[in-house]
């Protein structure tokens, strides 16, 4: 019997309501199933996960805090494909662990050690749970499953050797005890957003790696050189504690490397860890189809708190552009432009990593400056730029130094300080580039200190009417900005921009906060994950929110956006203490309607919704539920009744009641495409 599906309408589903339930909510007619959770075995010989803190062999299990994710299709014969829909590899980031007072408490039997020194066994487990994984998934009928014995399955963790590639390779800034010629590093850390190259490899962004390191309070004086400026700019003040105290796990190098102080006095410098942190902070490329190939840190794309990496429209004979954000308060947006021009044959190359070498190791890095008239400029971060060469606060030695210290180079050229750039994605319809700006608690009408910034056209909101507060709260709900490149396309150095959507609560003041006119079926706060479906063109975005979680758990929305310039100019008038006003012109896209924006999913308690991947036909959508129950107090690790979430065990998945990060797969019950 051939059933003719009903005519497809984008956003034809009924919007889901905001929810505080400890479950995944999707629209009527859709099914969300748990597929792959933290601790799941990735080899046939790894025991089932008991989920009581006693599990071992984490180097062969799914890591923790699933974040960005991409789908790599496999043909029925197990070959790399760009079109297969029933079999493939999910490659994903394992960003972090739920932790409090040093210990990742759900991962240890009684919550782990909450003081220094940390036991080696706990540190080993936590280091193994950070990194990347690749898992094979297959569809049988309507059901998707992982294959625990697939030869494609792979784990990358803090002991995995990774190559340093591009202009920083071999530079003195990355010479370490581990690699005395500056070509290698162990591990990739705090991996957040992702990307997929036009040659079918996986890109991962290293985000909050800085916090895992420590250095002694005497380290500034011990160094006495410009490296102190760099360390401070990347958030490592002397004497600041590390996130987990991994450096206290033992005398072995794998623990000591997290302490950036010079450890001893050997004349050959072999116990010198001062450059260790310069090996973190990059976009990392992995061939998900071939675990024999080295993973590479693509240093030409710059070092900062990376989120996703999105390729601009790919045009034969033109350079490739990669768009990226630096997710920290008042940090920058970047673009990398390859020297090599795109060749169609490179879409299906024999050697994918060599293709990465061709396009990602040689190019120019730019930083964005957004102007008040709705245009903007890409400013090249080159050692030849006089503003960089003559920068007083930090003397750059060479182009590798500019890349390792891309934040300082952005400072030197006066780039625009943004409201925390999270993911970016490119609209396949018109090539416009979207960036989520998740929120900014350090935006102030009258900034106090260098950590705060005044509102500007691209980051225009500072408001005071959240939850009855009269204090300025910056921009707690975030917005999504978009860029249309100039005539030169990927190589353009000028652009136009506007704001696609401003996050807001539906009841917020329309003139100052809810500028996109969001209704109760659409309102959201703190956009983070972002991807366009190649199948439907839907703009999916996800939230990671602290400002709206009293009303709703985090969510995913589906948008059908217009284009840069389709909306209007708005002037926001911010009162100053002296009675005058700071007026900021901004540009907001078309107001949301039920046909252009709908809430599609709400997650369990204390989870972030993140990671978006789909099968090429758009009929299976993979989404990550990150850190459900993270608001649980570590003291309650022994009492499941006090867990703030018991997902996914309460959805029938796996042993134990401890909450776990997990991948879900969403299908439409009538077999249709997701989001219709
Ligand atoms: Fe890992 Fe910026 O979120
Ligand atoms: Ca993020
Ligand atoms: Ca976030
Ligand atoms: Ca998170």
- Kindly tell me if the per-residue pLDDT of 357 is higher than 60: yes
Those residues with Cβ within 8 angstroms of residue 367's Cβ, 6 or more apart along the chain or in another chain: 332, 333, 334, 335, 378, 379, 381, 406, 409, 410, 413, 415
Instruction: Specify the length of the chain in residues.
Output: 676
Question: Residue holding tokens 């010479």?
Answer: 175
pLDDT attached to residue 465 = 73
* Domain assignment of residue 480, given as a range: 158-207+281-630
- Kindly tell me if the per-residue pLDDT of 49 is higher than 80: yes
pLDDT attached to residue 467 = 72
Ligand 1 atom index nearest CA of 307: 2
pLDDT attached to residue 546 = 83
pLDDT-based confidence at 264, cuts 50/70/90?
low
Give me the DSSP letters along 376-410: EEEEE--TTSHHHHT-SS----SHHHHHHTHHHHH
Q: How much is the average pLDDT of 313-338?
A: 98
How much distance in Å is there from the Cα of 529 to the middle of ligand 2? Answer: 6
207 alpha carbon, closest ligand: 1
Protein residues whose CB sits closer than 6 Å to any atom of ligand 1: 95, 192, 207, 307, 327, 422, 528
How much distance in Å is there from the Cα of 407 to the middle of ligand 3? Answer: 19
Ligand 2 is an ion; residues with CB less than 5 A from it = 192, 422, 528
The C-alpha atoms of residue 470 and residue 491 are separated, in whole angstroms, by 45
DSSP E strands, 141-226: 143-146, 154-156, 161-165, 184-186, 191-196, 202-206
Q: Which of 154, 327, 141 is nearest to 234 (CA)?
A: 327
Ligand 1 atom index nearest CA of 305: 2
How much distance in Å is there from the Cα of 193 to the middle of ligand 1? Answer: 7
Does residue 48 belong to any structural domain of this protein?
no
Q: How much is the average pLDDT of 594-610?
A: 98
Ligand 1 atom index nearest CA of 420: 2
pLDDT-based confidence at 671, cuts 50/70/90?
very high
pLDDT attached to residue 41 = 98
pLDDT-based confidence at 453, cuts 50/70/90?
very high
**Residue pLDDT, tens place only, 365-405:** 999 999 999 999 999 999 999 999 999 999 999 999 999 99
Does residue 297 belong to any structural domain of this protein?
yes
Q: Which of 267, 249, 269, 268 is nearest to 259 (CA)?
A: 249
Q: How much is the average pLDDT of 496-511?
A: 97
pLDDT attached to residue 285 = 99
Q: How much is the average pLDDT of 470-484?
A: 95
- For 177, 275, 297, 407, 575, the CA distances from 188, given in Å and listed in that order, are 17, 15, 9, 20, 45
Does residue 260 belong to any structural domain of this protein?
no
Q: CA 262: distance to chain centroid? A: 32
- Kindly tell me if the per-residue pLDDT of 353 is higher than 80: yes
pLDDT attached to residue 7 = 77
Look at the chain and report how many structural domains it folds into. 1
- Kindly tell me if the per-residue pLDDT of 267 is higher than 60: no
530 alpha carbon, closest ligand: 2
How much distance in Å is there from the Cα of 192 to the middle of ligand 1? Answer: 5
**Residue pLDDT, tens place only, 404-421:** 999 999 999 999 999 999
- Kindly tell me if the per-residue pLDDT of 54 is higher than 60: yes
The C-alpha atoms of residue 307 and residue 67 are separated, in whole angstroms, by 10
439 alpha carbon, closest ligand: 3
**Residue pLDDT, tens place only, 79-108:** 999 999 999 999 999 999 999 889 999 999
Residue nearest to atom 1 of ligand 1 (CA): 192
**Residue pLDDT, tens place only, 643-661:** 999 999 999 999 999 999 9
How much distance in Å is there from the Cα of 307 to the middle of ligand 1? Answer: 6
pLDDT attached to residue 291 = 97
- Kindly tell me if the per-residue pLDDT of 475 is higher than 80: yes
Does residue 529 belong to any structural domain of this protein?
yes
Does residue 616 belong to any structural domain of this protein?
yes
Q: Which residues pair with 380 in a beta bridge?
A: 366
Question: What proportion of the chain, given as a percentage, has pLDDT over 70?
Answer: 97
How much distance in Å is there from the Cα of 553 to the middle of ligand 3? Answer: 14
Q: How much is the average pLDDT of 601-625?
A: 98
Q: How much is the average pLDDT of 292-311?
A: 98
- Kindly tell me if the per-residue pLDDT of 136 is higher than 90: yes
Ligand 1 atom index nearest CA of 438: 2
Structure tokens that stand for 257 in this block: 């490397």
pLDDT-based confidence at 265, cuts 50/70/90?
low
**Is residue 659 a contact partner of residue 643, using CB atoms and an 8 Å limit?**
yes
SS3 of residue 447 by DSSP: coil
Sheet of 296-298, strand order: 184-186, 161-165, 296-298, 283-286, 202-206, 191-196
The C-alpha atoms of residue 524 and residue 518 are separated, in whole angstroms, by 8
DSSP E strands, 342-478: 363-370, 375-380, 418-419, 421-426, 433-437
Ligand 1 atom index nearest CA of 190: 1
Does residue 85 belong to any structural domain of this protein?
no
pTM: 0.98
Does residue 589 belong to any structural domain of this protein?
yes
Average pLDDT, the chain: 96
Buried b (16+ CB within 10 A) or exposed e, 111-127: bbbeeeebebebbbbbb
Query: Is 264 exposed, middle or buried, given 0-12, 13-18 or 19+ CB atoms closer than 10 A?
Result: exposed
Does residue 340 belong to any structural domain of this protein?
yes
**Is residue 438 a contact partner of residue 362, using CB atoms and an 8 Å limit?**
no
**Residue pLDDT, tens place only, 180-237:** 999 999 999 999 999 999 999 999 999 999 999 999 999 999 999 999 999 999 999 9
Residue nearest to atom 3 of ligand 1 (CA): 192
325 alpha carbon, closest ligand: 1
Q: How much is the average pLDDT of 287-299?
A: 98
Strand 296-298 and strand 333-341: the pairing is unpaired
């Amino acid at each position: 019997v051939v059933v003719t599906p009903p005519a497809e309408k984008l956003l034809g589903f009924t919007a889901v309501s905001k929810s505080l339930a400890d479950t995944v909510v999707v629209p009527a007619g859709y099914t969300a199933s748990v597929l792959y959770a933290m601790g799941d075995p990735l080899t046939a010989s790894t025991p089932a996960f008991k989920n009581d803190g006693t599990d071992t062999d984490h180097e062969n299990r799914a890591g923790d805090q699933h974040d960005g994710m991409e789908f790599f299709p496999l043909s029925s014969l197990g070959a790399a494909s760009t079109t297969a829909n029933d079999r493939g590899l999910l490659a994903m980031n394992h960003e972090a662990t739920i932790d409090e007072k040093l210990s990742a408490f759900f991962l240890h039997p009684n919550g782990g050690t909450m003081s220094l020194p940390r036991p080696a066994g706990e540190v080993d487990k936590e280091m193994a749970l950070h990194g990347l994984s690749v898992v094979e998934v297959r569809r049988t009928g309507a059901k998707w499953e992982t294959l625990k014995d697939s030869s494609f399955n792979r784990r990358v963790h803090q002991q995995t050797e990774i190559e340093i590639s591009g202009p920083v390779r071999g530079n003195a800034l990355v010479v370490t005890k581990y690699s005395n010629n500056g070509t290698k590093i162990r591990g990739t850390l705090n991996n957040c957003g992702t990307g997929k190259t036009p040659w079918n490899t996986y890109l991962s962004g290293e985000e909050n790696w800085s916090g895992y390191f420590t250095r002694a309070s005497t380290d500034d004086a011990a160094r006495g050189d410009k490296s102190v400026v760099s360390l401070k700019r990347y958030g490592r003040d002397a004497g600041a504690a590390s996130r987990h105290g991994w450096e206290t796990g033992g005398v072995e190098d794998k623990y000591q490397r997290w302490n950036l102080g010079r450890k001893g006095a050997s004349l050959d410098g072999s116990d010198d860890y001062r450059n260790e942190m310069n090996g973190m902070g990059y976009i990392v490329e992995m061939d998900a189809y071939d675990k024999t190939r080295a993973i590479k840190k693509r240093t030409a794309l710059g070092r900062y708190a990376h989120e996703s990496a999105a390729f601009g429209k790919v045009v034969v004979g033109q350079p490739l552009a990669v768009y990226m954000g630096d997710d920290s308060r008042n940090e920058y947006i970047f673009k990398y432009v390859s020297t090599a021009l795109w060749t169609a044959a490179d879409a299906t190359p024999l050697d994918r990593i060599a293709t990465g070498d061709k396009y990602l190791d040689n190019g120019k890095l730019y930083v964005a400056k957004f102007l008040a008239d709705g245009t903007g400029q890409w400013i090249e971060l080159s050692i030849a730029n006089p503003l960089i060469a003559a920068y007083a606060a930090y003397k750059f030695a060479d182009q590798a130094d500019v890349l390792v210290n891309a934040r300082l180079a952005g400072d030197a050229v006066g780039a625009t300080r943004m409201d925390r750039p999270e993911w970016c994605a490119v609209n396949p319809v018109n090539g416009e580039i979207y960036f989520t700006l998740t929120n900014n608690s350090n935006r102030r009408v009258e900034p106090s200190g260098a950590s705060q910034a005044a509102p500007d056209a691209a980051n225009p909101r500072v408001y005071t009417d959240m939850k009855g507060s009269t204090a300025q709260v910056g921009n707690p709900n975030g917005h999504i900005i978009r860029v249309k490149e100039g005539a030169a396309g990927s190589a353009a150095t000028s652009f136009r921009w506007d704001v696609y959507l401003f996050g807001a609560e539906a009841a917020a003041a329309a003139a100052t906060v809810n500028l996109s006119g969001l209704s109760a079926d659409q309102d959201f706060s703190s956009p983070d994950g972002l991807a366009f479906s190649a199948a439907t063109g839907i703009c999916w975005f996800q939230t990671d929110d602290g400002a709206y979680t009293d009303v709703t758990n985090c969510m995913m929305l589906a948008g059908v956006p217009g284009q840069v310039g389709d909306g209007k100019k708005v002037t926001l008038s911010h009162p100053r203490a002296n009675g005058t006003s700071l007026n900021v012109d901004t540009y907001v896209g078309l107001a949301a309607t039920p046909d252009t924006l709908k809430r599609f999913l709400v997650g369990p308690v204390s989870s972030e919704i993140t990671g978006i991947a789909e099968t090429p036909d758009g009929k299976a959508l993979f989404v990550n539920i990150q850190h459900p129950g993270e608001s649980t107090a570590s003291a309650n690790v022994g009492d499941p009744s006090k867990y703030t979430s018991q997902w996914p065990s309460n959805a029938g998945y796996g042993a134990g009641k401890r909450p776990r990060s997990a991948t879900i797969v969403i299908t439409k019950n009538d077999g249709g495409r997701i989001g219709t």
